[in-house]
């Protein structure tokens, strides 16, 4: 294996293992910031040793072992934590043979990742800080990727993350899944973060891969756990429904060479019918709990319209337009309006959708959002304005940080060029 191959392998392992690594360390050291530092130290050790010695058989276990050794060193250096060092050394020794009984007694969810989400979503942090910190720790996203997801600057995101970790340490926020009213108070933020992690797995913001399936799997698992924790909350079931239905398309979204396949071109025979049934059941459960439909239940209803259509032309676009209108009233945003424009174009014709998109072109928050020119290009092609469509696709390609998506956009741009005879 070449040095470049090893470097790519380490990057891939880190993307997959870092959330679990940080979550496991945070349970031990009770400090999210220290846990991330220890995980980074383990990564540095891997970068130094793996190119020489080769990848270990179990990279995740290797990283955790390296991080735990550094945790012991951390407590040794800190005289104020000598007692904690003894407790930690005992815990690490005992954990080799025995289950973590202390954790099992602390709360009713034996999942470090879920504890990490609830800790990062503590009300001492602002909503923006909660989202940025959890995407960093659980999603493994860089500050650049988070900035693009929220359409804000990188320095802003970096400051939010640093301040959030300091605040959690200063306020001695416990690393746990809270109970009762406190759990309910944090649930909305937790749901939002889990869905953002799922989205990053479903369509990666940056990198060489179109999808990051491990993130989708983590988000789905956490959502299912939450559904058991909060069985009477319709939005929890709405989120689970949305993720189940979206995840059902995973096999059809990527071609043999890893290239993206858009919804209309997917082989629907590859859609996972078990996940669809699970999603529809969760959506039905959300509906039976009553009350107004929330943001996740509405989006799940939109996804269900696609899931029920055996072919693209059978999609109930009128119903989707209605659902997007309802969603726009509940949570008005330029991105929701852009999605509504796509549905309007399918239901009423491309010019109707293009009129909505053109009204969004001056929206400041969408100036660096690659899907705006991409969506506009689709509609321009359908109304025969190919030169403009090619320009928009080239602009979209320049804005995306995902290599697979860039290739797809440039290929579509070339298809808009006039044929030479």
DSSP 3-state assignment of 84? helix
Within a domain: 43: yes
In a domain, 202, yes or no: no
Does 250 fall in a domain?
Answer: no
Q: Please state the length of the chain.
A: 421
Closest CA to 184 of 135, 242, 121: 121
User: CATH code at 414?
Assistant: 1.25.40.10
Supply the pLDDT for residue 201.
85
Task: Please tell me the pTM assigned to this model.
Answer: 0.73
Residue 292, pLDDT score: 84
Contacts by 234-237, CB closer than 8 A, 24 or more apart: 234/285, 234/286, 234/287, 234/289, 234/290, 234/291, 234/293, 234/294, 234/297, 235/188, 235/191, 235/286, 235/294, 235/295, 235/296, 235/297, 236/187, 236/191, 237/282, 237/283, 237/285, 237/286, 237/289, 237/297
The C-alpha atoms of residue 46 and residue 56 are separated, in whole angstroms, by 10
Q: Would residue 92 count as lying in a domain?
A: yes
Q: What is the pLDDT along the chain (421 residues), one digit of tens a residue?
A: 677 777 778 887 887 788 888 888 888 888 888 888 898 898 888 888 888 888 888 888 899 889 888 888 777 776 555 555 555 565 555 444 434 433 433 334 457 888 888 888 888 998 889 888 887 887 677 888 788 767 678 999 999 999 999 999 899 888 888 888 888 888 888 898 889 889 888 887 777 777 888 788 888 988 898 888 788 999 999 999 999 999 999 999 999 888 899 999 999 999 999 999 999 999 999 999 988 899 999 999 999 999 999 999 999 999 999 999 999 999 999 999 999 999 999 999 999 999 999 999 999 999 999 999 999 999 999 999 999 999 999 999 999 988 999 999 999 999 998 765 4
| Token duo for residue 281 | 């059941």
Strand partners, 402: 207
Asked whether residue 233 is assigned to any structural domain, the reply reads: no
What is d(CA 66, CA 73) in angstroms, rounded to the nearest whole number?
11
Q: In this predicted structure, what is the pLDDT of residue 79?
A: 55
Whether 358 is covered by a domain: the verdict is yes
Domain that holds residue 329: 316-421
Residue 143 is assigned to a structural domain of this protein: no
Is residue 95 assigned to a domain? yes
Among candidate residues 106, 133, 154, the one where a domain is terminated: 106
Please tell me the total count of domains within the chain: 2
From 75, 91, 106, the end of a domain falls on: 106
143 CB neighbour count, 10 Å cutoff = 19
Single residue among 74, 106, 138 that ends a domain in this structure: 106
Using a 10 angstrom Cβ sphere, with 0-12 exposed, 13-18 middle and 19 or more buried, the burial of residue 77 is exposed
**Cβ proximity of 375 and 338 under 8 Å:** yes
């Amino acid at each position: 294996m070449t040095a470049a191959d090893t470097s790519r392998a380490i990057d891939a392992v880190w993307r997959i293992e870092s959330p679990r690594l940080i979550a496991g360390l945070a349970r031990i050291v009770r400090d999210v910031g220290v846990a991330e530092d220890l995980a980074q130290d383990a990564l540095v050790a891997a970068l130094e040793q793996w190119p020489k010695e080769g990848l270990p058989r179990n990279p995740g276990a290797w990283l955790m072992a390296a991080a735990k050794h550094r945790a012991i060193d951390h407590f040794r250096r800190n005289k104020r934590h000598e007692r904690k060092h003894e407790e930690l050394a005992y815990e690490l020794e005992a954990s080799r043979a025995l289950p973590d009984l202390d954790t099992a007694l602390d709360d009713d969810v034996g999942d470090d990742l879920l504890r990490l989400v609830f800790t990062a979503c503590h009300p001492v942090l602002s909503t923006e800080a909660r989202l940025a910190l959890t995407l960093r720790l659980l999603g493994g996203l860089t500050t650049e990727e988070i900035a693009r997801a929220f359409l804000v600057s990188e320095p802003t995101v970096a400051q939010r993350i640093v301040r959030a970790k300091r605040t959690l340490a200063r306020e001695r926020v416990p690393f746990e899944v809270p109970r009762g009213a406190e759990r309910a108070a944090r649930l909305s933020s937790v749901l939002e973060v889990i869905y953002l992690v799922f989205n990053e797995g479903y369509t990666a913001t940056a990198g060489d891969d179109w999808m990051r399936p491990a993130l989708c799997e983590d988000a789905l698992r956490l959502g299912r756990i939450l559904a058991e924790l909060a069985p009477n909350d319709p939005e929890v079931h709405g989120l689970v429904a949305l993720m189940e239905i979206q995840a059902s398309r995973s096999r059809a979204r990527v071609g043999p060479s890893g290239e993206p396949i858009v919804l209309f071109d997917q082989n629907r025979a590859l859609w996972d019918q078990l996940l669809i049934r699970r999603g529809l059941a969760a959506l039905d459960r959300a509906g039976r709990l009553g009350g107004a439909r929330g943001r996740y239940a509405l989006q799940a209803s939109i996804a269900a319209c696609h899931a029920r259509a055996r072919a693209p032309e059978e999609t109930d676009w009128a119903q989707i337009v209605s659902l997007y209108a309802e969603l726009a009233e509940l949570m008005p945003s330029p991105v929701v309006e852009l999605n509504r424009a796509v549905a309007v174009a399918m239901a009423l014709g491309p010019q109707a959708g293009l009129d909505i998109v053109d009204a969004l072109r001056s929206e400041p928050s969408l100036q660096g959002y690659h899907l705006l020119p991409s969506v506009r290009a689709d509609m321009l092609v359908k109304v025969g304005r190919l030169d403009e469509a090619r320009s928009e696709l080239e602009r979209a390609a320049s804005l995306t940080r995902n290599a697979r998506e860039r290739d797809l956009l440039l290929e579509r741009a070339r298809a808009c060029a006039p044929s030479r005879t």
